Amino acid sequence: MPSPARAYVGYRLLAATAAAGCFLVGFVCILAFFDRALFQLFARPLFATDYWGYYIVGFAGSALVAWGGCLVAAVRNPVGASGVGTASAAGLLLASILRLLAWYSGEYRLVADQLRVEAGVLAVVALAFVWLKPPRLDDDRGVERSREDTP
């Protein structure tokens, strides 16, 4: 039986990578909002949108940072926070569907291939979350793992 540190190493790596991505994109979004709303230090705005767009960008950045925090919890305790994997997979699937619908609308023609690639990558990452995530706590194996992870 693997030691607790080695348990679900693939899932931990996946969650850590996703957390890093969430923090990175989240902080860029928050930075863009603050730059636009307060400082205007950048010569060119980071996003081509209006003040309401930046408001939403700032909100999305905050949500991404929160999501990253949840993923860090999943890295520290994969079994105890296994629901984070389920929620992440659901969120990634939704994001993938959203991008395909955006492609299909025709409104995003000039970034159409980027949307397709993003949709495919997000679906693959969601698949990884689905299969790498630990069983839930009330599953037999999950309880065993949780007991192993408890100091």
* Residue that the structure tokens 């630990």 belong to: 134
Q: Which residues contact 135 (CB under 8 A, 6 or more apart)?
A: 79, 82, 141, 142, 145
User: Which whole-number Å values give the CA distances from 11 to 71, 89, 107, 122, in the listed order?
Assistant: 10, 12, 36, 16
Interacting positions 131-150 with other proteins (CB under 8 A): 131, 135-136, 138-140, 143
Does residue 87 interact with other proteins by CB under 8 A? no
Does residue 76 interact with other proteins by CB under 8 A? no
**Rounded Cα–Cα distance for residues 143 and 33 (Å):** 43
How many residues make contact with other proteins (CB under 8 A)?
30
**Rounded Cα–Cα distance for residues 39 and 144 (Å):** 52
- CB of 30 or CB of 145, closer to other proteins: 145
**Binder of other proteins out of 13, 66, 114, 120 (CB under 8 A):** 120
**Binder of other proteins out of 40, 117, 148, 150 (CB under 8 A):** 117
Closest CA to 136 of 83, 95, 61, 99: 83
Does residue 107 interact with other proteins by CB under 8 A? yes
> Interface residues with other proteins (CB under 8 A)?
89, 93, 96-97, 100, 103-107, 109-110, 112-113, 116-117, 119-120, 123-124, 126-127, 130-131, 135-136, 138-140, 143
